[in-house]
Chain A
Amino acid sequence: DSGVTQTPKHLITATGQRVTLRCSPRSGDLSVYWYQQSLDQGLQFLIQYYNGEERAKGNILERFSAQQFPDLHSELNLSSLELGDSALYFCASSVASYTYNEQFFGPGTRLTVL
């Protein structure tokens, strides 16, 4: 168990809908990262927050947004969902914003868009 929790574990929704994925980092970790992993695709970095502020942005679609709250949990909002958004979404956390070898990943949320 990495100490990072993600909810829900599974999410099935329809095209055009909006969903929110939630992540609670490990205790003491200030940095939260979101990744997308499609079937047969490598992990794609979406966005990083550090202590409530956006720190780095990857290939995140404009339909997607994220935030980190004062209690350090984070939410990833996906709107106007398309079939191609079906994927595993991982959250990771680390103490600092640059500890590349100390990211701890959660178990992921499996999103299925029908």
Chain B
Amino acid sequence: GESVGLHLPTLSVQEGDNSIINCAYSNSASDYFIWYKQESGKGPQFIIDIRSNMDKRQGQRVTVLLNKTVKHLSLQIAATQPGDSAVYFCAEATPPYNFNKFYFGSGTKLNVKP
């Protein structure tokens, strides 16, 4: 499939371990955030979102933490599986949330070792 981000930072974890992927955002006015997963040869896929009135949101095996003070977002994946291997990137948005107000990070490549 297509390779995305040959020079992205890479996180290598053992299958079954927890993964933490970080994202720093720059705009203090951003108040809506999304995490995406992009597997090789595929388009991005929504994972989880969070609004700035929350510090934490949980999904299935994933948790997003938001620290507005330091403008930092993290995605935690519990019990990482080989199928989690992909590029993960965050997006930040400011009101009024038109799509031209979404800014996407370049991502982190997660490599899960069996």
Residues of A whose CB lies within 8 Å of any CB of B are 2, 4, 33, 37, 39-45, 48, 55-59, 88, 90, 92, 98, 100-103, 105-108, 110
Contacts and interface: CB of A to CB of B under 8 A. Distances in A.
A89 B102 CA distance: 17
Given A40-B5, A42-B104, A107 B97 contact: no
Given A88-B2, A98-B97, A43 B44 contact: yes
B16 to A, nearest CB: 28
A105 B107 contact: no
Contacts, number: 68
B17 to A, nearest CB: 27
Q: Size class of B's contact patch?
A: 20 to 34
A58 B6 CA distance: 25
B89 A42 contact: yes
A110 B100 contact: no
9 contacts: A40-B6, A42-B103, A42-B105, A45-B104, A90-B43, A100-B97, A103-B46, A108-B2, A110-B2
Interface string B7-31: 1100000000000000000000000
A100 B43 contact: no
Contacts of B103: 42
A107 B46 contact: no
Contacts of A42: 89, 103-107
Nearest to A98: B97
A58 B34 contact: no
B65 interface: no
